[in-house]
Amino acid sequence: MKTMPLSRILQRPLTAVAIGVLVAAGTAQASSHREAPYVTQFPKVDATDFYLFNSYEPGREDYVTLLANYIPLQDAYGGPNYFTMDQNAVYEIHIDNDGDAIENLTFQFRFDNNLAAGGEGVALTIGDQLVAVPLKAVGPISDTDTSSANFSESFSLSVIEGQRRSASAMPVVDRVDGATQFAKPFDYVGDKTFGNEDAYIRYVSSLTNSGSVYHDVDLPGCNASAARVFVGQRKDSFAVNLGRAFDLINFDPIDITDQPENNILADKNVTTLALEVHKSCLVGSGNGVIGGWTTASKQQLTILNPTASFERPEVAGGAWTQISRLGNPLVNELVIGLKDKNRFNASEPKDDGQFASYVTNPTLPAIINLLFNGNNELSSADIAPSNFPRNDLVAAFLTGVAGVTQMSSITASEMIRLNTSIAATPRDSQSNLGVAGGDLAGFPNGRRPGDDAVDLALRAMMGAFCHAIPVDLNADGTLDDSDNLLLCGATAEQSRAAAPVGTVALSDGAAQNATQFMNAFPYLANPIPGSAN
């Protein structure tokens, strides 16, 4: 790419910075899809997105929703084996509720895959031989007849209070029959197998005790109303203009408008682990604020079975070792240096001091200068924020914002923080820019499916929170400099000056807002079928 002359940057600073940010953002490959070199070898444990928010389904105002997506870039037609979870992995959602960056609660999911007919699978009589079929379904599947299914997947859920590797795991039970194993629905392979979307949802609902797609469950140690759990395929909830961003930013990032066709992930699915829990079961001594992140771990040793069977293609043993981690979106992609991406995925929030310089002194804004100012032309015309350390990013990602998402005890650590006492904004009233759009119930106060993570991350990196936010912080009835959080300077003027392009409306044009999602748990849209009938 040619270097843009400094004179041209001074003439057109907004376009220059927008293009620069999006060039760097193109490496993200969506929110956390294939975000580190090593996890690309294990797509079944690759976390793609994590959401933590106060439930906005009408009547569920006292609940918190946690959504963890795995297995990136699922082509709906990706048969014949589709997208099962890893039987030899543990998938976990962690909650810190006292501010020490150590999990107080862990929700642990484990999976089991089984063939029909007692593990032998469906077989057909061919001539004088009984022969096992090669497919996971040999005919239509419905809510009233699943006999054609050659395969089933189930999961268990446990709650761990305290350290996840040493404390005891307590099973979550079906609220109706006390069962500890729950059915995971077959992926939406297509409309000939399931009929249509409505029929597929009826099938999914037939596997639960609620009459809907989720299971009603009782959580050990929680006496509040029943929790909900859903595990299954959903349409990918992330939106990004991925292909055109890689093609040397093949659009105008200032004038582009949000359009559905700009979302390159619009035809992809993910696998969602969803929980809805009464907030009284999650909060601790952290001022009603909780922090959350999701991980996946495998055992250290894997021995391939030279006579692999369906149930035992490999044998695993040794200590559980974390290889996937996700809190805030885009952190590993756009903040953590390439040499430390695998280390970040294997680390815990309590040890995030080793990565602090990536947040306090981020390289992405400098890359923007290198791309468009030229190595020999860097000058006072720098368009990157100049406040070091970047306390605006520290507040957004590592400590929380005082009075909003900051716990009573503060340990700098990367996780999503949610103030459970701030009422949820109804779906149709949400701003997809969260706090930056005047909506205190949105990112970085938690993260909802409709929060536009790409636009928000780009604007935050370039200093959006150095400027006044559209929230009347001092309750004087006006939106002005008194509503500056003063994260980048001692005065509003100094804070603004530290981020000369912090008010630029950076966008990739990929539509992301709450109306794209359901208004009820598990919120994420139904999956895309593998083929039309």
Helices 13-25 and 453-461, axial angle in degrees (round to 10)? 120
186 Cβ contact partners less than 8 Å away, ≥ 6 residues apart? 82, 136, 137, 141, 149, 151, 152, 153, 203
- Is residue 523, in this structure, part of any structural domain at all? no
Indicate whether 236 belongs to any domain: yes
17-26, 108-117, 382-391, 520-529: the lowest-pLDDT one: 17-26
Please say if the pLDDT value at position 171 is more than 80: yes
Q: Is residue 522 part of a domain?
A: no
Q: How many domains does the chain fold into?
A: 1
Q: Which positions ≥6 away from 223 have C-beta within 8 Å?
A: none
Q: What is the secondary structure of 137-193 as a DSSP string?
A: BSS---SS--TTB-EEEEEEEEEEES-TTTSPEEE-EETTT--S-EEEPPP---HHH
| pLDDT classification of 371: cutoffs 50, 70, 90 | low
pLDDT reading at 19 higher than 50:
no
Backbone phi, psi, residue 231, to 5°: -135, 125
The single-letter DSSP state of residue 426 is P
Q: For residue 171, list its beta bridge partners.
A: 158
Residue 362 lies in domain: 6-463+499-516
Backbone φ and ψ of 239, nearest 5°: -130, 130
In a domain, 53, yes or no: yes
Tokens found for residue 160? 């761990």
- Best CA proximity match to 493, nearest among 465, 461, 466: 466
- Rounded mean pLDDT, 434-441: 93
Split at pLDDT 50, 70, 90, the class of 7 is: very low
Tokens of 329: 């979106």
pLDDT of the residue at 9: 33
What is the Cα Rg of the chain in Å? Answer: 24
Choice among 276-285, 374-383, 425-434, 518-527 with the minimum mean pLDDT: 374-383
130-140: pLDDT as tens digits: 999 999 999 99
Residue 241 inside a domain? The answer is yes
The model's confidence at residue 498, banded by pLDDT at 50, 70 and 90, is: very high
Residue 530 lies in a domain: no
231 part of a folded domain: yes
Q: What is the pLDDT of residue 13?
A: 36
* Phi (first) and psi of residue 429, to 5 degrees: -110, 0
> pLDDT: is 39 or 379 the higher one?
39
**Kind and range of the H or E run holding 318:** strand 314-326
- 50 in a domain, yes or no? yes
> Is the preceding peptide bond at 253 cis, omega within 30 degrees of 0?
no
Average pLDDT on 453-470 reads: 88
Q: What is the pLDDT of residue 314?
A: 92
Give pLDDT, residue 384: 87
Q: What is the average pLDDT across 483-497?
A: 93
Mean pLDDT of 181-201: 97
List pLDDT tens digits, range 85-136: 999 999 999 999 999 999 999 999 999 999 998 999 999 999 999 999 999 9
**Which pLDDT does position 94 carry in this prediction?**
98
Give the pLDDT mean for 284-302: 95
- Give the closest residue to 451 by CA, choosing from 466, 437, 461, 468: 437
Judge if pTM exceeds 0.85.
yes
Residue 276: partners with Cβ closer than 8 Å, 6 or more residues away: 55, 60, 63, 64, 65, 66, 214, 227, 228, 229, 521, 522
Q: Give the pLDDT band (50/70/90) at residue 325.
A: very high
pLDDT digits (tens, 9 = 90+) for 26-68: 333 445 566 777 788 899 999 999 999 999 999 999 999 999 9
